Structure 1
């Protein structure tokens, strides 16, 4: 399977885990994502974007890297350009570095939704900033993950999730319907191999590495919201 790492302009921690994940991968940098390549000691095979977030000195410093320049006035982000170029080059699996954080929430949200769409189209896609990792969930399949016991995770709900089951967690679920935007699936804890299944909907498993206990206030707030939703449904 052809696997690419894409370096985007969001936040990034150069953790040992991330270093091991990118080892041996082909790399495409998008605009200011080239800074991540420099920190990680990686030379991309392509640098793509409109280059409005880098200086002429940056471009000169990485003169050995192939550049694909696009106009500033365009109808897609530099991240989208990187996605498309990787797929054009045969990528069937993507590790998206710098997918979270940064100064533009709209870009981070769009990257997350694009990753879910790519995953649904058969392109295995993982989002990471070195500390947090996002895994789109496949429908009708067993989504299985191996994390250290005690690892904090959440399932972000982008549409109603049908028949959601979670095993290997402190708070398991069995064929539950989770409404769009619910906080019920936030701040859970892995207690072994984690298995997630669902029959319909769009969700993202978000794992926080090196954080091992959920904030109890998060669980309390989630419980209060879930109770309020159930009360409203009963009233109807």
Structure 2
């Protein structure tokens, strides 16, 4: 779990309520962004707030969750429903965010926007895990970081800028203090090698580590 007061943000993308995901969100407070509330029941959570313009949540969901407080916004706005939900969680004291329903969905621009939003939140100092249950995104910043992934997990590091001094340990194909240009395929398709987990060091730059943890064990 991320931080002492974690929040779960429910977005409208794909979601598989895996045992690993259920462990990751245990004890988290929940805010749903518009159609993301459809994931609440499969995850066994009850949102304390439902945020959005409600253009992607129909009357059935409105009836099923009528007792959840709503924060309505006009469709013509400068922030996505997900951004509004994350901002509300931070205002309520979130020490970290698990953003679920980030990947997939009908629009790739929204999925990419969600990924970049998670990276931007991490750059502000907020621990972030982005997940669909089957796929996870971990924003990387300069410094040392351990990623909790089981042995055998497939992962890639996507450089959002030129990277300097990237080090990967505990993996099949380690790197030591490598510079990685933005757009390079050098860091695609690696695997976590052992039970000690994945350790990442970065000298300069911003990246996101995308992982498939269920290529290993739960």
TM-score using structure 2 length = 0.93
Tell me the residue number matched to 1:202: 206
Post-superposition offset of 1:28: 0.2
Contact 1:92 1:122 (8 Å CA) reproduced:
no
Equivalent pair of 2:141/2:205 in contact (CA under 8 Å): no
Is the counterpart of residue 179 in structure 1 residue 181 in structure 2?
yes
Distance in 2 separating the partners of 1:42 and 1:198: 36
2:151 aligned with 1:144: no
Aligned with residue 31 of structure 1, among 16, 25, 34:
34
State how far apart, in whole Å, the 2-side matches of 1:180 and 1:53 are: 35
Extract unaligned runs of 5+ from structure 2: none
Write the distance in 2 (CA, Å) between the matches of 1:114 and 1:145.
Answer: 19
Asked if the contact 1:30–1:47 (Cα under 8 Å) also holds between the matched residues in 2, the reply is yes
Pair 1:11-2:14 in alignment: yes
**Which ranges of structure 1 fall in alignment gaps of 5 or more residues?**
213-236
1:58 matches 2:65: no
| Corresponding position of 1:45 | 48
Q: Which residue of 2 aligns with 1:163?
A: 165
Higher relative contact order (CA 8 A, sep 6+): 2
Q: Is 1:87 aligned to residue 90 of structure 2?
A: yes
Alignment of 1:67-86 (within 5 A): 67-86=70-89
Runs of 4+ in 1 over 3 A off after TM superposition: none
Question: What displacement does 1:111 show?
Answer: 1.3
Matched-pair contact (CA < 8 Å) for 1:136–1:204: yes
Aligned counterparts of 1:21 and 1:60: Cα–Cα separation in 2: 29
**In angstroms, what is the RMSD of aligned CA positions?**
1.1
Residues 158 and 209, structure 2, Cα contact 8 Å, conserved in 1: yes
Specify the alignment match of 2:123 in structure 1: 120
Q: Distance in 2 between matches of 1:54 and 1:151?
A: 34
What's the offset of the Cα at 1:145? 2.2
Q: How many residues align?
A: 211
Point out the structure with the larger helix share. Answer: 1
Deviations 1:26-51 (A, max 9, x none): 00000000000022221100000000
Q: 1:148 and 1:125 mapped to 2: Cα distance?
A: 19
